[in-house]
Amino acid sequence: MDKTSTSPAETVIGKGGETHQISGGDVPTLTTQQGVPVSDDQNSLRIGERGPTALEDFHFREKIFHFDHERIPERVVHARGYGAHGFFENYESLSDITTADLFQRAGERTPTFVRFSTVAGNKGSADLARDVRGFATKFYTKEGNWDLVGNNIPVFFIQDAIKFPDLVHAVKQEPDRAFPQAQTAHDNFWDFASLMPESTHMLMWIMSDRAIPRSFRFMEGFGVHTFRLVNSTGKSTFVKFHWKPKLGLQSVVWDEAVKINGADPDFHRRDLWNSIQSGNYPEWELGLQLFDEKFADSFPFDVLDATKIIPEEDVPIRKVGRLVLDRMVDNFFAETEQVAFCTQNVIPGIDFSNDPLLQGRNFSYLDTQLKRLGSPNFTHIPINAPKCPFHTLQQDGHMAMMNPKGRVNYEPNSWNGAGGGGPRESPTKGFHSYPAEEDGKKLRVRSERFADHYSQARQFYMSQTPTEQGHVADSFIFELSKVENQCIRARMVSNLMNVDGVLAKKIAQGLGLTDMPEASKPAKQPVTDLKPSKPLSIIENGPQNFRGRKIGALISDGVDQKLVDTLRQALEAEGAMLEIVAPMVGGAKSNSGTLIKAEQKLGGGPSVLYDAVAILAGKGSEQTLAKHPAARDFVSDAFTHLKFIAYTEAAKPLFEKSGIMSDLDEGCVSLNDASAVSSFVKQCAALRFWKRESVVKM
């Protein structure tokens, strides 16, 4: 590539407040692939500062086009995915706010397909990477397919889709060495993030436990963007979509995530498979945040900004239906791999806002599916085809599996009758875009209301419990410790000074920075008195029961048969599961002489695979487990990961060998007899014994 033109070294401050430090000599001027100099690589061209993206923006289209076609056959992002079929059941008619058919009748069920995924990793990466999780839902409605393409985090890194290729290039493995994969702990990502203050809010989320969920079944989903609902009179209501898991929120701790990836890199896949195959169908409720133009104008942040949320305290969530996943795919490739989600796929009664990130996604996704699936006829693939009657005039093309009959492939035409003119447009039934009035100059500019990058990041941090705040700090320290360039570390800490000084200092100390950097200059002074929002904390939104969880019971010969039976019955009554782990996969003999079969062999079934554990050593085999290295790891990991532990008297030698006997706490429950089982299972509803964390950190 020729260096056709240069510009002097400079510090560039973007229109959204982002700072780009360029140092050392002349640098080439950025151009398009046609050699046209680029004036602004931060903002797409739009009509007015809050208006829709203009199709004539050739630089944006070239950039997205190239990005969409860079890799085959994997998805560029969300390559590692897993899907299941189910249904959406509507609670009540929503005809007052939308004409969308699936929301018109109480109790109506709409077929769905859901694909969960990680974002950054390739197809072969592990499930428990620290990452955003995709939560994409395809509704097969009576008026066509509606795709709600969301994530398990309600905000995103960037405000404008023109920066999406840069974000993904930065987060992916570095191009000269092809590592690290499925992780953000490297220079390129943090260089980009530290130069993009708008990413700060999202960084707080991915450095929290939200980025290492225990299961797909225990995480929320969000539509991220602001959409519109339109009723029969043409009235528009803004909406944000939320999925709330009925089993409550739950994540793992970082050391646990690392070990799960080693023990079972398919942990999330296996969990969803086992849950559905056993009839324990996961459920979520669909919630809507509904608001009008007046609220949007009064809200202190722009509702079109994908880096912002609307706290539930400001706009309560209205739960309107439930999603149930009850059937796994018949063939992974045919369905989960070939399913094509497009944000542009909406139905009458649902429409878009001018969110610039959403506008770009609407352009990008269709182009991406064409590249991945090889033909504009990807809609003929059964997983993508509507389940309602559909009629088009489109014919031919690679892999056409169905073509309209007759002589006509154009419109308008004058042919009538059977096999004649084909389908006609319908002004009454057809989709109508909401007639929003738009005006303004064509500009590459970002609204001033997009300029506050730190206030909600601070609100998120202040909404976490002290335990969760500690995890956020630890995550930043770990990630930035993998960054080789110390200037990047310091720049990131300087940005975090605008979120919380104590957090930034803790991270600086953890990184061993010799000098505390000054806070970076924000594009807009952050608001420091936003109230904490309880729904932003995982711990504050726990399930209050143990339903859907699993206890791993490590047994040895002589185990009390009645104790095992009582524990199993108590868990089944709670809607939970018991899995037996033994030194040999054949199992162990109980005190009644019965062989208790094991689902896992000790060493192949570590405690990281379970939500709580029971060490049911039998009398006469006290030293059997104590001498087993994998047994010592089993109990010490469970203790370190703050899990509730039940144990029999014969398990104490194992605790002594594992070095935790002197540290046993209220989260460790002695099962002297079967009567103690019930209280132990109830205690497990808290999921973690967080008080122990100060001990294990020491």
Question: CATH no. for residue 27?
Answer: 4.10.91.20
Pick from 129-133, 405-409, 447-451, 592-596: least confident: 405-409
Residue ending a domain, among 43, 63, 83, is 63
Pairing outcome for strands 11-13 and 283-291: unpaired
- 59 catalytic residue (yes or no): no
DSSP for 246-267?
TT---B--HHHHHHHHHH-TTH
Token couple for 529: 């008195």
CA 55 to chain centroid, in Å, comes to: 30
- Kind plus residue range of the DSSP H or E element containing 63: helix 58-68
* Whole-number Å distance between alpha carbons of 10 and 20: 8
* Structure confidence at residue 124 as a pLDDT band (50, 70, 90): very high
Domain final residue pick, 63, 90, 105: 63
Q: How far apart are the first and last CA of the chain?
A: 55
The answer to whether position 556 is within a domain reads yes
Closest CA to 471 of 151, 212, 221: 212
CA distance 209 to 538: 8
Residue 559 burial (CB < 10 Å; 0-12/13-18/19+)?
Answer: buried
Residue 187 is assigned to a structural domain of this protein? no
Return d(Cα 267, Cα 257) in angstroms, integer.
Answer: 10
Q: What is the DSSP letter of 543?
A: -
DSSP H helical ranges for 177-217: 187-194, 200-206
Domain contains 50 = yes
Tell me, what CATH number does 693's domain have?
A: 3.40.50.880
| Integer Cα distance of 688 and 677 in angstroms | 17
User: CA nearest 304: which of 509, 457, 156?
Assistant: 156
Does position 171 have pLDDT exceeding 70, yes or no? yes
| Chain center to CA of 311 | 18
- CA 514 to chain CA centroid, Å, is 36
Q: Is residue 320 situated within a structural domain?
A: no
CB atoms within 10 A of CB 687: 25
> Does 18 have pLDDT greater than 80?
no
32, part of any domain: yes
Q: Is 23 a residue whose pLDDT tops 60?
A: no
35, part of any domain: yes
β-strand pairing of 577-582 with 550-555: parallel
- Lowest model confidence (mean pLDDT) among 23-32, 92-101, 530-539, 630-639: 23-32
Residue 644 lies in a domain: yes
- Helix, strand, coil percentages in the chain from 3-state DSSP, rounded to 5: 35, 20, 50
Structure tokens at 75: 């998805």
Q: What percent of the chain has pLDDT over 90?
A: 79
Residue 486 lies in a domain: no
* Cα–Cα nearest to 211, from 177, 184, 176, 251: 251
| pLDDT tier at 287, thresholds 50, 70, 90 | very high
d(CA 350, CA 97): 10
pLDDT of residue 25: 54
Backbone angles phi, psi at 318, to 5 degrees: -100, 115
**pTM of the predicted model as reported, rounded to 2 decimal places:** 0.90
Q: Chain-wide mean pLDDT for the chain?
A: 92
Closest among 37, 210, 146 to 387, alpha carbons compared: 146
What pLDDT is attached to residue 485? Answer: 97
Any idea what the Cα angle at residue 163 is, between residues 131 and 201, rounded to 5°?
50
584-596 average pLDDT score: 94
Q: How many Cα atoms occupy the beta-carbon half-sphere of 665 within 13 Å?
A: 18
Does residue 189 have a pLDDT over 80?
yes
Candidate ranges 38-42, 141-145, 268-272, 396-400; pick with highest mean pLDDT:
268-272
Query: Active-site residue among 151, 152, 345, 377?
Result: 151
- Tell me whether residue 151 is one of the annotated catalytic residues: yes
With H, G, I as helix, E, B as strand and everything else as coil, classify residue 346: coil
The domain of 55 spans: 6-63
Interatomic CA distance for residues 472 and 103, integer angstroms? 39
The pLDDT, as a whole number, for residue 418 is 56
CA distances from 332 to 23, 83, 277, 328 (A): 49, 8, 15, 9
Instruction: Read off the pLDDT band of 577 (50, 70, 90).
Output: very high
Report the number of distinct structural domains present in the chain: 2
